[in-house]
Amino acid sequence: MKKSRIARASALIIGLSLVGVACGSDDSASDGAAASCEGVKIAFFGALTGEAGNLGVNIKKGLDLAVAEFNEANADCQVGIEAYDSQGDPDQAPALADKAIADAGVLGIVGPAFSGESKAVNGKFDEAGLPIITPSATNADLSKNGWKIFHRALAGDDKQGPGLASKITADGKMKVGVLDDASEYGKGLADIVQTSLGDKAVEMNSLDPESADYSAVVTAAKDAGIDALFFGGYYAAAGKLAKQLRDGGVDAQLYFGDGVLDKGYIEAGGPAAEGSIIGCTCAPFDSNATFLAAFQAKFNEDPATYGAEAYDAATVFLAAIKSGARDRASVLAFIKAYDAPGVTKQLKWDETGEVVGTAVYAYTIKDGKIDGSLGLIK
Amino acid sequence: MSQLSNLWTRFLSLNTDVQVRWKSMSRVQRLSGYVLAVLALYLAPWWPKIPGIGWLVNTPGTQFSTVLNDQVIIFVLVALGLNVVVGLAGLLDLGYVGFYAVGAYVVGVLTSQHASLPWIVALPIAVVVSMLVGVILGTPTLRLRGDYLAIVTLGFGEIIRISAKNLDWLGASRGISDIGKPPSIGPLKFGVLDPKPYYWLGLTLVFLVVFCLYRLEESRVGRAWTAIREDEDAAELMGVNTFKFKLWAFAIGAAVGGLAGAHYAGKVGFISPDNFPLQLSILFLAAVVLGGSGNMAGAILGGIMVAWLPERFRNFTDKRVLVFGIALVLVMVFRPEGLLPRRVRTKSPMKPASDGQEVTQ
Amino acid sequence: MTNEVLLDFNNVTMQFGGVTALSDVSVKIFRGEILGLIGPNGAGKTTCFNVMTGVYQPTQGSVVFNGSDITKLKRFQITQSGIARTFQNIRLFSEMTAVENVMVGADARKTSSIPAALLRTKHQRAEEKESYDRSMELLALMGIADRASDAARNLPYGYQRRLEIARALATEPELLCLDEPAAGFNPAEKQQLNELILKIRDQGYTVLLIEHDMSVVMNVSDRVAVLDFGKKIAEGLPSEVRSNPDVIAAYLGVPDDAA
Amino acid sequence: MPDWLIVRTFWDLTVTGLALGSIYALVALGYTLVYGVLRLINFAHSEIFMVGTFSALIASTQLLNIPMLEDGNYPYRTGGTLVLFLVFILFAAMFISGVGAVALERIAYRPLRGNGDAFGAIVLAFLTSFVIGLIFVNETKANLIIACVGTAPISYSYLRFFKKGKKAPRLAFLISAIGASTAIAEAVGIWGPNRREQYQTPRILEKKVLFNALGTDVRVDYVIVIVGALLMMTALTLFVNKTKLGRGVRAVAQDAETARILGVNVDLIIVVTFALGGVMAGGAAMLFTMVYDQSRFNIGFILGVKSFTAAVLGGIGNLKGALLGGFMLGLVENYGSALFGGQWKDVIAFVVLLVVLMVRPTGILGESLGRARV
Amino acid sequence: MTLLEVRDLHVFYGRIEAIKGVSFTLNEGEIVTLIGANGAGKTTTLRTISGVRTVAEGSIFFEGEDITKMAPHDRVKRGICQAPEGRGIFPGMTVRENLDMGTYVRGDKGPQKAKDLEHVMHLFPRLRERIGQMGGTLSGGEQQMLAIGRALMSKPRLLLLDEPSMGLAPMLIAQIFTIIKEINADGISVLLVEQNATQALKTAHRGYVLETGYVVKTGAGSDLLVDPAVRAAYLGG
């Protein structure tokens, strides 16, 4: 044998690869047939599994409902759904985004669900002209990157923070401890709340959300003698915090941002969660009776946080497809011009992709359930 | 599995067989073989299009060429670097992600956060800074032995991540966006969408690192490292400045880790502390040991496996990590020295041994 | 043998916790001689060795080698300044080949480091070649060159012992310290070892020999020093030491047993 | 007196720090015992703790039918019933954790010692066919069937492999431990009672203030944790020093080969060691759920890293060191949080570790269960 | 009566065959010694009899019972106990605790144990002085005494001694061999492995000469002692 296996194998692989190169650049669906909905898809992008999976599942359900309704109403145009499960990890997101971009059938994305992964991939979507409507990423900076494809179906934290602050003031709290979990979302929101509260705020550093023990925070809260506490962070840490504060004898009113608006907070906090006030730019799940009924009929449960926003986002894409848009550019153009009521709010976007004229809602925990009856703040 | 294990052993001996034949070939034949193999690697983004092999290597659900760069190249680079520390010098480092983070952050800080140097200028700075950090961390800690070193390095990895997360100067938890990209060379455009140029760049970096590390391994330095790993006291009594060489191993490992971080930052353009969790250190270590600690080929194979397998089996969804854990146990039970165990080199760097036989185990 | 003092072990006291392992021991080693160091187990021979090679810092006293004080030097610096040793329980680099083991020793005298190895400079290549050639030479001298490219742990016991000596010699020492080199040898092998030690001395090395086996010590040593309970109790020619009443009392006790 | 937070709240922080430190100390014991005997970082020990917290949950909700109290009041359990309940849950957690630790040793470590047995072979074979099943059918039920069918022939060939096994290098143990740790945590995350979400445990004990000392309210649960930990520690020390098996543990730690020659069944001692560590982790888990009322599939990782740090801080292989290290780490974290903010507490903990190791390279009390290194 | 019989023993270290078919017997009440150069397989033979090394081929009988595959602790229960090469003292245990380890498999408590302890103290008065001291702080000779004493605490029928003279000064060596004879006089059979062939053959009733894994010669101790071939090869000139 004269040539080694390595050389022969290499030669074979090279040859075949070159054939691949010649056969066309990347796998692309034929986007010729303009009228047919063949291969047209709306994608979900966010966490379905992993630690942050809950949130993504809520969103995916909103999307599923919207598409199911559309497909039922339009037998001649069946839209598909593609799910890109990033597990909320900015490390995994780029390879998924590239896959979505390479799939020419994907005309719009509901997501990315979190702010971190948004930062990692929105630039890609922008470059590829693939329009996105996020139903949940509320980081204020996201709309300031000049991404023309970026939209969100709810207001950002820069609206939520002042809203929460005014609620706290309205409740007559005079000494408010402001705490965060050092995460981008939590710290960002806490900073806005603290600024808005002015000298009523007592800064209380950060806590480590992964830690089990918050006794140092409890001690500090007791020591500071606060009558209210705002925590910027997510529900798991909030639950532990609420419980330990109550056990430690701190009875200050608790305020949170939308990251805590999840039944996981009630599960983690138990009785200590009762009476907490949670702000969110998302609408209460029962704000639209038709949507509520349809959702309950399909999934046999109440919609959860961001479910309605996801439904709205999907509706916009579906409307674009309905209007005959079969490529990303025309879908994007359609969104830019869109102005119609959704189930949560009037859907119309400004230049930066922020939804126009939104509101902040206050929720509370009552009898072990999320209660939206506090309604709009302001 | 014992049969499987036998199969693998036979595959390995086949390899040796090939190597023997390889050595018997003429220079021209060997050179052309190398060129072909390298070319095939550069064409890797198109492998999924090859019938058969394509099905095997393709990553359903994610873009193959992105995986090649963002996962495979990064893990291979990191495994190569960590292999110097763990495999050659025998220092257990559980905080290697720290150096990877330093490399990425230096590029982030210099090209976006506080300055706007071009990536190509920031890259060597990142490597040097990582190396310096390695020296700074190594100086006080390398006097510790074994498992004490492990826990201290683990602590360092955490300290770096927590600092990045809480220092506004480093972008805190917001991370750093708009990181500079490598300069485009002619038709090679380092843009946002096409991962292929990054892969080619990364692959070139891998070759460069392999070349450098090979030279080190086959020199006085490599011998000193191996001697330290085998018996540190005896090495020192044979005149090896153990502290200096351990520090060098740490620094070189750190530099390669930093290089990987810098390449990653240039590619993705956005980094945040979430990219550098403690668990990543453990994955890195798993890559090295899984492949075969102390063997460069092993480290590369381990890096590829740990990076590529989870993407290949993405349809396991949330069971991916579970399977990974089980696989680690199984591989260690049946191949405790890794998939490609370390070999004792028979030839000296200057003169090939007359018989050319390799001694395994 | 000249009268030039190569190593001056000066009033060394060594304490571990409360235990005194060496108390005020002074030994001189002259250039070119073979000095045998004997004593009952626990007498402090190996401690002596460890102080000389920098493994321990003495509590008191100093070690002067070639006119300079090496007490405070690090272990590798002591090796580089010209003292090499072997180990009582063989401590080879078991995953490395025999020749690589010796090359590690030879590297002690080399200077090329990372940058040179990366660039593979002319100097570095010359050094590598030098190391390799010298190592092969030493393996040949020890009579084990036939297994040069075997992993150290695959070598037979006798080869491993000799490989240790080769590795120590590769550091180009002026003083070679052998710690019980005859352990585990049969009489024939001991005889070979004696010849080997003499050959090494004849090449110009000074040898310090710790040995239990009287047939080795008494046959090759030019002078013998005796330790007992951390103190030097005798020093002199083998014949003198043999008849020293203190030594007989402490060590040779029943002369018949000195097999 | 300066008006710093840490000065004003010093005693508060001390009490809570000691409570947390007790948990660290108990978990650290497991690391220390196994390290002393096998020179192995039992990376998966943290998951044994996690399993303990879930055992405590299941014992209280399923076996004792303790309801989740909506209003947080504890009207009906006091005195003897309360003590009985607490002790029952404690033993349940200790038992399951102990069994878990022993099983872990059989599956993930013993085959690496070249000494694998049928139990390990069967479990590994089951896992292998489970993974194979996943590749072809990604559905749990079908998978289980495939896994069960595949187990028998595969375990047979595994056993044959084990027979000629030899001892693996140290790093292999570490990686196997990491793999086991990952797999256990993920399995609980996938199939556990609350999947990946945090869950709360029902409250049995009303956390009222027991007494006030130095201006600090000391809650009853903190007292139970600290006293409980000290008691368990004492029991363990007595066991190791005074019983025959304990003497065997110390003998194997110091010189396994000689111990074997003297008739110590080394495999049995290793099982005992893992069981002891597991029992201590189970105790820690019960106390943990009592104070913090919660657990999660991934709770072990960070707590494990901390506890291992505590073990090293005190001197790994040293039982007293684990206690000292645990308390010290708990206090340092709490004081550090008050001084610099909670986000920096891990940094402070590791800096303290580094400083201690610089001064005393084998921890505060040094290694003692095993032979000191030369 | 034959107490121990070893038949055609083969033992491997990794891939190297360390023992290549050793057979010998030991009768009740005898001292038998195995002599030979380092690497001849003496220690391996002892360890195989103790059960810490596994047998590739061949068998071991103790009191007529096949113990080839028996676990080490069961062998100790049957009365085989070893004082290992290098003494194997537990450095972090006191002398008393070390001695207690000898009774590990017996689990005797109270008077019997105290009596045995007294007996060992009587044999080795030095140990009495050191009873509370840590094993690691003893001198070499004391450690050897402790190792033998510890093995005696298990009340063995057969005592395996591995190089009891190793690393000891000649004065101590003589003492140790005297004690071995005393122990034997109490009715305990002894299998002795030694480098110091002169002393070993003087002490033993019978001896076997091992060479690279084989038995090459056997005979009464006194005969071997004067055998010119043995003298030349193992006793030094």
Residues of chain B in contact with residue D343, where contact means CB-CB under 8 angstroms, are 162, 165-166
Reported as a single tens digit per residue, the pLDDT across D327-341 is 999 999 999 888 888
- Going from N- to C-terminal start, the domains of chain D cover 36-116+165-308
Domain count, chain A: 2
Pick from C84, C93, C149: which is nearest to B346 by CB?
C149
Instruction: Tally B–D CB contacts below 8 A.
Output: 159
- In sequence order, what E strands does chain D have? 199-200, 209-213, 216-219, 294-295
User: Interface partners of D (3+ CB pairs, < 8 Å)?
Assistant: A, B, E
- Cα D328 to Cα A344, B311, C148: the distances in Å are 53, 43, 54
Residue keyed to tokens 């719009």: A108
Residues D38-59, buried b or exposed e (16+ Cβ, 10 A)? Answer: bbbbbbbbbbbbbbbbbbbbbb
Q: Using the beta-carbon criterion (under 8 Å), do A217 and D196 form an inter-chain contact?
A: no
Could you tell me which CATH number the domain at C5-82+173-252 has? 3.40.50.300
For residue D105, the chain B residue with the least C-alpha distance is: B329
Q: Is E167 left (phi over 0), alpha (psi -120 to 50) or beta?
A: left
3-state secondary structure of C152: helix
Per-residue pLDDT of chain E (237 residues; tens, 9 = 90+): 789 999 999 988 766 677 888 899 999 999 999 987 666 778 889 989 998 888 888 999 999 899 988 888 999 989 999 988 777 888 888 899 899 888 888 766 677 888 888 989 888 888 888 888 888 778 777 888 899 999 998 889 999 998 888 767 667 788 889 999 999 998 899 999 987 778 888 889 999 988 777 888 888 888 888 888 777 665 543
Interface of D with E in 195-214 (CB under 8 A): none
Torsion, CA E92, CA E94, CA E97, CA E102, rounded to 10: 80
Give the whole-angstrom CA distance, residue D211 versus residue D202. 24
- The ipTM (two decimal places) reads 0.87
- Cα A274 to Cα A178, A368, A375, D39, D314: the distances in Å are 20, 7, 17, 49, 42
- Taking the CA of residue B20 and the nearest CA in chain C, the distance in Å comes to 16
Give the whole-angstrom CA distance, residue C161 versus residue C154. 13
Interface test with D, best of A205, A217, A250, A266 (most D CBs within 10 A): A205
Beta-bridged to residue A106, according to DSSP, are A41
- Do E94 and E39 meet the contact criterion of CB atoms below 8 Å apart? no
- Do A256 and A280 meet the contact criterion of CB atoms below 8 Å apart? no
Reported as a single tens digit per residue, the pLDDT across B158-177 is 999 999 998 989 988 888 98
- Taking the CA of residue E90 and the nearest CA in chain D, the distance in Å comes to 6
Torsion, CA A10, CA A13, CA A15, CA A17, rounded to 10: -140
Residues of chain D in contact with residue A263, where contact means CB-CB under 8 angstroms, are none
Residues of chain D in contact with residue E89, where contact means CB-CB under 8 angstroms, are 255, 258
Give the whole-angstrom CA distance, residue B199 versus residue A37. 35
Residues of chain E in contact with residue C186, where contact means CB-CB under 8 angstroms, are 37-38, 233-234
- Taking the CA of residue C34 and the nearest CA in chain B, the distance in Å comes to 21
User: Interface partners of B (3+ CB pairs, < 8 Å)?
Assistant: A, C, D
| Type of residue at D178 | I
Does residue E13 belong to the interface with chain D, where contact is any CB pair within 8 Å?
A: no
Q: Using the beta-carbon criterion (under 8 Å), do A220 and D5 form an inter-chain contact?
A: yes
Q: Using the beta-carbon criterion (under 8 Å), do A10 and B274 form an inter-chain contact?
A: no
- Going from N- to C-terminal start, the domains of chain B cover 61-278
Q: Name, in order, each residue with C-beta under 8 angstroms of B347's C-beta and a sequence gap of 6 or more.
A: B353, B356, C149
Pick from A213, A220, A223: which is nearest to D20 by CB?
A213
Give the whole-angstrom CA distance, residue B332 versus residue D168. 8
Residues of chain C in contact with residue B242, where contact means CB-CB under 8 angstroms, are 76
Pick from A7, A21, A119: which is nearest to B270 by CB?
A119
Give the whole-angstrom CA distance, residue A49 versus residue C25. 72
Enclosing domain of residue A365 = 157-280+360-376
Residues A143-169, buried b or exposed e (16+ Cβ, 10 A)? Answer: bebebebbbbbbbbbbbbbbbbbbbbb
Does residue A212 belong to the interface with chain D, where contact is any CB pair within 8 Å?
A: yes
Could you tell me which CATH number the domain at E31-51+71-235 has? 3.40.50.300
Indicate contact of D with C: 3+ CB pairs under 8 A. no
Q: Taking Cα atoms as reference points, which of C220, C218, C219 lies closest to residue C207?
A: C220
- Cα B228 to Cα A201, B91, B251, B336, C159: the distances in Å are 57, 9, 16, 21, 22
- Taking the CA of residue D135 and the nearest CA in chain B, the distance in Å comes to 8
Residue A353 lies in a domain: no
Per-residue pLDDT of chain A (378 residues; tens, 9 = 90+): 444 566 677 777 777 776 666 555 444 444 444 457 788 899 999 988 877 777 888 899 999 999 999 998 888 888 999 999 988 888 888 989 999 998 888 999 997 998 888 988 999 999 999 999 999 888 888 888 889 999 988 888 888 888 888 888 888 888 899 999 888 888 888 988 888 888 888 888 888 888 888 888 898 888 888 889 999 888 888 988 998 998 888 889 999 988 888 888 888 888 888 889 998 888 887 778 888 999 999 999 888 888 888 999 999 999 999 888 888 999 999 999 888 888 888 888 888 888 887 778 889 988 888 887 777 776
Residue keyed to tokens 């069946």: A78
Interface test with A, best of B26, B62, B73 (most A CBs within 10 A): B62
Give the whole-angstrom CA distance, residue B277 versus residue B98. 9
Q: Is C98 left (phi over 0), alpha (psi -120 to 50) or beta?
A: alpha
For residue D268, the chain E residue with the least C-alpha distance is: E73
Average pLDDT taken over every residue of chain A: 85
CB atoms within 10 A of CB D69: 14
Q: What is the pTM of this model?
A: 0.89
3-state secondary structure of B200: helix
Q: State the distance between the two ends of chain E, measured CA to CA, in whole angstroms.
A: 37
Q: Dig out the tokens for A247 from the structure.
A: 């056990």
Does residue A251 belong to the interface with chain D, where contact is any CB pair within 8 Å?
A: no
Q: Taking Cα atoms as reference points, which of C132, C145, C74 lies closest to residue C105?
A: C132
Residue A218 lies in a domain: yes
Reported as a single tens digit per residue, the pLDDT across A48-106 is 887 777 788 889 999 999 999 999 888 888 899 999 998 888 888 898 999 999 888 89
- Do D131 and D146 meet the contact criterion of CB atoms below 8 Å apart? no
Residues A103-135, buried b or exposed e (16+ Cβ, 10 A)? Answer: bbbbbbbbbbbbbbbbbbbbbbbbebebbbbbb
Residues A217 and A162 placed together within one structural domain of the fold: yes
Q: Using the beta-carbon criterion (under 8 Å), do B324 and D154 form an inter-chain contact?
A: no
Q: Using the beta-carbon criterion (under 8 Å), do E73 and D264 form an inter-chain contact?
A: yes
Pick from C40, C183, C185: which is nearest to E169 by CB?
C40
Question: What CATH number should be reported for the domain holding residue A256?
Answer: 3.40.50.2300
Q: What angle do CA B324, B63, A149 make, to 5 degrees?
A: 120
Interface test with B, best of C95, C153, C174 (most B CBs within 10 A): C95
Verify cis geometry, omega within 30 degrees of 0, for the bond prior to B51: no
Residue A355 lies in a domain: no
Q: Using the beta-carbon criterion (under 8 Å), do E168 and C41 form an inter-chain contact?
A: yes
For residue B69, the chain A residue with the least C-alpha distance is: A95
pLDDT in the model for residue E110: 72
Q: Using the beta-carbon criterion (under 8 Å), do C41 and E169 form an inter-chain contact?
A: yes
HEC sequence for A92-123? CHHHHHHHHHHCCCEEEEECCCCHHHHHHHHH
Residue A93 lies in a domain: yes
Residues A35 and A178 placed together within one structural domain of the fold: no
List phi, psi (to 5°) of D251. -65, -45
pLDDT in the model for residue B351: 44
Q: How many residues does chain C have?
A: 259
For residue C255, the chain E residue with the least C-alpha distance is: E170
- For the cut 70, the answer to whether the pLDDT of residue D70 exceeds it is no
Does residue E114 belong to the interface with chain C, where contact is any CB pair within 8 Å?
A: no
Which H or E element spans position C92? Answer: none
Residues A254 and A364 placed together within one structural domain of the fold: yes
Indicate contact of E with D: 3+ CB pairs under 8 A. yes
